[in-house]
Structure 1
Amino acid sequence: MNLKQLKYFLAIAEHGTFLKASEKVFIAQSALSHQIALLEDELGTSLFHRSRRGVTLTEAGEVLMAHARSILRQVDDARESLASLTDSPAGKVTFGIPHSVSNALALPLLQTTRKDLPRVNLELTEELTGNLSRQLHAGQIHMAVLFDDGTLDDFVCEPLLVERLSLITPVAMTPAGDAISLHEALGMPLILPAQPHGVRPLIEQAAVMAGFAEPNVIADISSISILRTSLLAGMGCTLLPVMPLINEIQQQQLQATPVHSPELTRTVTLCRSAHIPMSAAASSVWNTCVTLAQTLSESGVWRDAVVATRHLAH
């Protein structure tokens, strides 16, 4: 197995036919077919289902695709890191960001990276936290923002901020008073992300530790846009930090009520693989994100968030 074969394999997987792939990688179709045949012979398995319409990946092909993307990305990172020894950081960095953090971090990170790291191509991928964790394990992304729920031991992590969660309700369902107890909040008709995504594990863990009944979940919705629509339609409430729905809260379409006894918080954490070295470009984006999160919190732009205790740990 060699890097060219992996490159050819990915081209076929992405374009669906040997002909289109051969045009993409500038190699004769017969030579491309020969290289894939050698690869399949070495691995002892078929990588593609072949038909008149084109090709699709076999189960073995799906497994190899994840590894191939990771391997080729690491090769690119190595080249870019060496080139950056005598120049400013350059190269592509893929940064995973959860839906519920995107509203606070995505645009400022893009703007700051473009200004301070002009030769870095920052690609943001917005996903559910469970998906980001799997992509980080597979080496498909350089780093990701995740939430410290006790399951991050496989990564190198740096806490960024501690965010306070509030009960967010349609105006007609706003509870009396300036705050609500966790026990009362758990009994409200709640719309929460499905397990194991987002704040759901943190809320359920808090309920267990306090000796309360499990949350009264009336709908599992992991999309912020669908959650927003559901709340505005008066279907129920949610437990989230304010930033994902800050526009609706500021326009008084939704109401945020702090939770107490105990207070609900989540630790926003920047994570990377413990086994894959970071490129110079990725290291620069990492440091930029750490500094930016602190600035956004201290300036009040990132609402209901305080700077977390900083340390690097496995």
Structure 2
Amino acid sequence: MDIRQLRYFVQIVDSGSLSKASRAFHIAQPALSQQIAKLEEQVGKPLLNRTHKGVTPTDNGLALYHHARFMLRQLDQALSIARSETAEVQGMVTVGLPATTVAAMGLPLVRRIRERYPGILLNVVEGMSGHIGHLMRMGQLDLAVLFSQELAPDVSVEALLSEELFLIIPEHSQLVAKDKSSVSTSEVADIPLILPTSSHGLRQRITAVFENRGLSTKVVAEIDSLSLLMDAVHDDIGATIKPIGAVMKEGGHGRAWRFLTFSDVSFRRRNFLHFLPPERLTTAAAMVAGELKQVARELTLQKKWPGFEPIGAPNREAIEKPAIIASK
């Protein structure tokens, strides 16, 4: 099988069009069609559905597409290593991280990889957990941090850490009395909330917790952009329920926040590291996975930010924490 044919085929599926793929490769469309016809002849089955709107892969084509993407990435990395003048670990590693996870672990991970493995090109993709999970299932990521243990049967998973969910309001807010460091779900039911949209896993978890207690939330805005959501909360439009990563995301803004625990429910979210099985995981990706787990371990041990614990750690009823925190 000609490697060029696989590259052409992957590009066609990515483009959804023979004409777009031909322009990407600077090859005439009839010649491109001929190469795909030869590939289909070798496979013995049609790989593309051709319509006036473009092309989509058949079931067999989709299976080939996923494996071809992996094979081509492996080949490109092997060639890069072979051409290198040193024996250091090299290659591109694509990691999918939700926004709050990026805030907590993104910069430490990038710094560690740059310092320890300068030959690795780290590609960090930030997005909603549903989108990150989709990319992982499609084989477009080497690693991903998700809030569910279930993803796909051919993806390995390890527990990473657990994070507490807080009611977060700005320090100047009057929504909760100044002397309170915790709130009950019934109290929060009366507070205007700014939450992600209903398709977001965190929103579904929040809704379930309140409904199990016969309560509903007073949602005044639905925002899937973390930065806009936190701006709206700081503008005192409403409170939100998020892990401490939402405050860490503030970076250098220097805004002060109160984060209050829930007194009547253990409100935590687990983080899992998903990665390709060992036989498909590149050396570079394995190194990044190891560093990501180390960053998570340090985050739970340093206690610099509250709410992070190893999965399986004892659930403490009371955790000492300041009532106000300024983003750093």
Equivalent residue for 2:238, pick from 236, 239, 246: 236
**C-alpha contact (below 8 Å) 1:207/1:215 kept by paired residues:** yes
2:116 corresponds in structure 1 to 116
**C-alpha contact (below 8 Å) 1:137/1:273 kept by paired residues:** no
SS of the equivalent of 2:281 reads coil
2: CA distance, partners of 1:287 / 1:194:
33
2:68 corresponds in structure 1 to 71
- Aligned-pair distance for 1:125? 0.5
2: CA distance, partners of 1:180 / 1:142:
40
1:53 corresponds in structure 2 to none
Superposed CA RMSD: 3.6
2:135 corresponds in structure 1 to 135
Matches within 5 A, 1:203-282: 203-209=206-212, 211-246=213-248, 247=250, 251-273=254-276, 277-282=280-285
SS of the equivalent of 1:172 reads coil
2:318 corresponds in structure 1 to none
- Aligned-pair distance for 1:261? 1.1
SS of the equivalent of 1:163 reads strand
- The one-letter code of the counterpart of 1:263 is S
- Could you tell me the TM-score, scaled by structure 1's length? 0.79
**Aligned CA distance change for structure 1 residues 275 and 287 (closer, same or farther; 3 Å):** closer
1:169 corresponds in structure 2 to 169
**C-alpha contact (below 8 Å) 1:146/1:269 kept by paired residues:** yes
**C-alpha contact (below 8 Å) 2:10/2:69 kept by paired residues:** no
Using the TM superposition, name which of 244-253 and 76-85 deviates more. Answer: 76-85
Higher helix share: 1
- Aligned-pair distance for 1:91? 1.2
**C-alpha contact (below 8 Å) 2:46/2:60 kept by paired residues:** no
- Is there any run of 5+ residues in structure 2 with no aligned partner, and where? 314-328
**Aligned CA distance change for structure 1 residues 244 and 66 (closer, same or farther; 3 Å):** farther
**Aligned CA distance change for structure 1 residues 79 and 87 (closer, same or farther; 3 Å):** farther
Using the TM superposition, name which of 57-66 and 183-192 deviates more. Answer: 57-66
- Aligned-pair distance for 1:274? 5.3
**Aligned CA distance change for structure 1 residues 274 and 230 (closer, same or farther; 3 Å):** same
Q: How many correspondences in the alignment?
A: 303
2: CA distance, partners of 1:70 / 1:218:
45
SS of the equivalent of 2:173 reads helix
2: CA distance, partners of 1:189 / 1:134:
32
- Is there any run of 5+ residues in structure 1 with no aligned partner, and where? 51-55
1:300 corresponds in structure 2 to 303
Asked which structure has the greater RCO (Cα within 8 Å, sep 6+), the reply is 1
SS of the equivalent of 1:199 reads helix
1: CA distance, partners of 2:199 / 2:276:
20
- Aligned-pair distance for 1:72? 2.2
Using the TM superposition, name which of 36-45 and 297-306 deviates more. Answer: 36-45
- Aligned-pair distance for 1:222? 1.5
